[in-house]
Amino acid sequence: MMFVERDCCPACKSGRSRTLMTAKFHEGPLGDFLRTFYRREPYEGTYQLDECLDCDLIFQRFVADPELMADLYSGLARPEVDVPIPEHAGDTHELLSLSAFLHKPRLQVLDYGTGWGAWPISARKLGHHAFATELAPHRADWVAKQGIRVIADAEIASHQFDVINLEQVLEHVAEPLDLLSQLAPSLRGVIKLSLPNSRRRVIRELQRRDYRHIMPFHPFEHVNSFNHRSLRELIHRVGLKEVRPSLRHLYSFRSLSPKDLARPITRFHNPANLYLWAMKQ
């Protein structure tokens, strides 16, 4: 198993970057942090954070190859947290807002990188036609048993989706620009992007070998750290533009759960997380 080097920005393909920090995964304070986090010996290799001078993306220069990626996401890396995720009311509210925004009571939806399938399971309960992709075979099998149509990446191109959900996905993939370019032709409605917001002050901590707040730059897993600018540039590059639902669309769930009225607002304005909807230009 090994790492592959990304020698240009994975969001804009620029070759102009500067190195913010380097450390070894398995040595010193980073080795200690990863040993505690994964409860096993870390992979051997170099943790290097580079910043794109053209779009602001901060990215890990060395990322897992497909074999190591499968090992990471198979549930073997952190078996103690690899259990089905309970349904979240926020998913239902979000789907009601999307349905209202698109003026469609029945949506065809794709959850890309579904994990334990909480989002498409909520979609199916609302009567939508739910598809999902998932890297780990044991999770894919479980999700398929819940009535979700689990498809391979290669099959995406033969479908059209009203909603494509990318919940905590873009920060994980080696080639985010390629992924969005692959998904865009299958989009006839809204793509939702939700991912950690890159936090610049954390870089200074990491440079001092303080890894407590490393989450947006987590080794192996959060290999792309977007901010508002790099994310908007990325979506424009694949012919998408940001759309904002109205308050009426956002609050289409209000009769269902009147006590959750803050959620749609906090979701769009959470400083720790980027959240946006986009459509074709």
| 55 is a contact residue toward Zn ion (CB under 5 A) | yes
Closest distance of CB 209 from Zn ion, Å: 27
Residue 9 found at the interface with Zn ion (CB under 5 A): yes
Q: Is 160 in the site for Zn ion (CB under 5 A)?
A: no
- Cβ–Cβ under 8 Å, residues 59 and 198: no
243 DSSP β-pair partners? 277
Compute the distance between CA of residue 147 and CA of residue 154 in angstroms, rounded to an integer: 20
Least distance from C-beta 236 to Zn ion, angstroms?
12
> Which residue in 49, 42, 56, 52 sits closest to 22, CA to CA?
49
Q: Is 243 helix (H, G, I), strand (E, B) or coil?
A: strand
Nearer to Zn ion by Cβ, of 230 and 252: the residue is: 230
Helix/strand/coil for 14: coil
**Considering the complex, what minimum distance in angstroms separates the CB of residue 231 from Zn ion?**
11
Q: Note whether 52 binds Zn ion by CB under 5 A.
A: yes
CA–CA separation, 77 vs 203, rounded Å?
25
Q: Which is nearer to Zn ion, 55 or 107 (CB)?
A: 55
Verify binding: residue 8, Zn ion, rule CB under 5 A: no
Q: Nearest distance from residue 51's CB to Zn ion, in Å?
A: 9
Tokens of 51: 């910043």
Q: Does 132 bind Zn ion (CB under 5 A)?
A: no
Token pair of 99, please? 């349905």
- 191 touching Zn ion, by CB under 5 A: no
Instruction: Rule CB under 5 A: say whether 14 interacts with Zn ion.
Output: yes
Stretch that binds Zn ion, among 14-22, 116-124, 174-182, 210-218 (CB under 5 A): 14-22
Report, in Å, the least distance between residue 276 CB and Zn ion: 18
Candidate segments 48-56, 143-151, 194-202, 220-228, binder of Zn ion by CB under 5 A: 48-56
User: Do residues 239 and 186 touch, judged by C-beta distance below 8 A?
Assistant: no
Q: Strand 161-167 vs strand 108-112: parallel, antiparallel, or unpaired? A: parallel
Shortest distance, position 226 Cβ to Zn ion, whole Å: 10
- Taking the least distance from each CB to Zn ion, the nearer of 51 and 94 is 51
C-alpha 198/C-alpha 68 separation (Å) is: 24
Q: How far is the CB of 136 from Zn ion (least distance, A)?
A: 29
- H/E segment holding residue 48: strand 46-52
Instruction: Kindly indicate which of the ranges 56-64, 91-99, 107-115, 258-266 contains the residues binding Zn ion, using the contact rule CB under 5 A.
Output: 56-64
Q: Contact between 12 and Zn ion (CB under 5 A)?
A: yes
CA distances from 91 to 94, 124, 267 (A): 5, 11, 12
Residue in 72, 175, 188, 165 with CA at minimum distance from that of residue 117 = 165
The residues that touch Zn ion, with contacts defined as CB under 5 A, are: 9, 11-12, 14, 52, 54-55, 57
